[in-house]
Chain A
């Protein structure tokens, strides 16, 4: 049987667990953390950063550091909640073809 993994995607922190020996076990990041900040970033030299590393550099690179993205999942771009959230976020968002929310990340 293939491995079963579970992901808890939180607004600020996320966790990943794998089902081993009949029990779920939370996986640790390279830095030994069991919870990982829900942050991704693209550095100036186009290096993709995830979790703690992305969070550490957030204020030096606010336009390419994406966080709190869970708030937009399942929402439409013109929802009042979406528009209120967008005002406080440093990264660029736009309306997608199906009316959802798209985030500008690097050149994409």
Chain B
């Protein structure tokens, strides 16, 4: 009768050891699964951020390309002042269409003339000394500045008064 009891204890020990091993294995699998789950969530978050950044960057780049065409129309309309000329009238219509397209995408120009120079909005390309005028006053706008979703997309290129 003693032998089966001893066997039973050995079996119990084996079973207990097997349970411990399986528990350890289950814990390892759970930890591994949790780590992979966290990695997947981080990857998804990173990918979403990357895709939205890419979309914003693409929109910025397309609008910047369109702005160079808008600048050309702007320059043409400013240079040829004959408003009765039908070509100029046609150019104005196309210019207005382009401006409407920009406005639809939350892209708007901002005023620079007669404002005080601000490097957040303007890029100084020439300085003019004039003691009769306020220091850092913008006296000419060479190229219009634009904002996209209220963030500066392109600063305005300006001439600035400097009093030493």
Contacts and interface: CB of A to CB of B under 8 A. Distances in A.
Interface of A: 31-32, 43-44, 49, 53-54, 56-60
Interface of B: 57, 60, 117, 119-120, 122-127, 136, 152, 155, 160, 162
Contacts of A32: 57, 60
27 contacts: A31-B152, A32-B57, A32-B60, A43-B119, A44-B136, A49-B119, A53-B119, A53-B120, A54-B119, A56-B119, A56-B123, A56-B124, A56-B155, A57-B117, A57-B119, A57-B124, A58-B124, A59-B124, A59-B125, A59-B126, A59-B127, A60-B117, A60-B124, A60-B127, A60-B136, A60-B160, A60-B162
Contacts of A59: 124-127
B80 to A, nearest CB: 31
Contacts of B119: 43, 49, 53-54, 56-57
Contact of B122 (A31, A54, A56): A56
Given A53-B119, A59-B126, 16 more contacts: A32-B57, A32-B60, A43-B119, A44-B136, A49-B119, A53-B120, A54-B119, A57-B117, A57-B119, A58-B124, A59-B124, A59-B125, A60-B124, A60-B127, A60-B136, A60-B160
Nearest to A21: B46
B160 to A, nearest CB: 5
A59 B161 CA distance: 11
Contacts of B126: 59
A59 B57 CA distance: 29
